[in-house]
Amino acid sequence: MTAVLLMIGGGIFAVLGFLHALYTFTDIQRPRRIVPDDPAVIAAMAASKVRIARGGTTMWKAWVGFNFSHSIGALLFAFICIMLGLVLQTHTLPRSALLFPIAMGIIYLVLAVNYWFRIPIAGVAAATLCFVAAWALYSP
């Protein structure tokens, strides 16, 4: 059951990461979902340079890049959790190996509660509960 719970939690993160990537790919003429509600803000982001880049990029390009890299991080975490579940089907690992998904889930949950919205909060909470249940049920 431990392996299944890890893979379910990882699967939830995979869905969230994939949807986030899909909703991130947008262009300024056809904004999709992960964009400001006010078109004037989008235009201002596209016209505003990022200070640290010394004119090399705009805030809009940085926004798209940050969001896509966030998607990649969620997908990588999903992959790790699913692989951990697959490994546990044939190998014994120390119980402490299951603390990584819990810790990451909690970090993502704190971020979700403080900065995101309802759907990722629910998804991250469900995945994190799967990781906690997997840890509680695991006996090497």
Confidence (pLDDT) at 140: 81
Spatial CB neighbours of 2, under 8 Å, sequence gap ≥ 6:
85, 88, 98, 134, 135, 137, 138
User: Which residue from 75, 70, 67, 66 is spatially nearest to 34, judged by alpha carbons?
Assistant: 67
Confidence (pLDDT) at 35: 83
DSSP letter assigned to residue 98:
G
User: Which residue from 97, 124, 117, 137 is spatially nearest to 12, judged by alpha carbons?
Assistant: 124
38 — phi, psi (to 5°)? -95, 115
Q: Give, to the nearest 10 degrees, the angle between helix 2-24 and helix 59-88.
A: 160
- For the entire predicted model, the pTM comes to 0.90
Q: Would you give per-residue pLDDT tens digits along the chain (140 residues)?
A: 999 999 999 999 999 999 998 888 765 556 578 888 888 998 999 899 988 877 789 998 898 889 999 999 999 999 999 999 999 999 999 999 999 999 999 999 999 999 998 999 999 999 999 999 999 999 88
16 — phi, psi (to 5°)? -60, -45
Confidence (pLDDT) at 22: 87
User: Which residue from 61, 53, 54, 72 is spatially nearest to 13, judged by alpha carbons?
Assistant: 72
Confidence (pLDDT) at 16: 97
Q: Would you list the DSSP string of 51-81? A: GGGTTSSBHHHHHHHHHHHHHHHHHHHHHHH
Q: Tokens standing for 116?
A: 């995101």
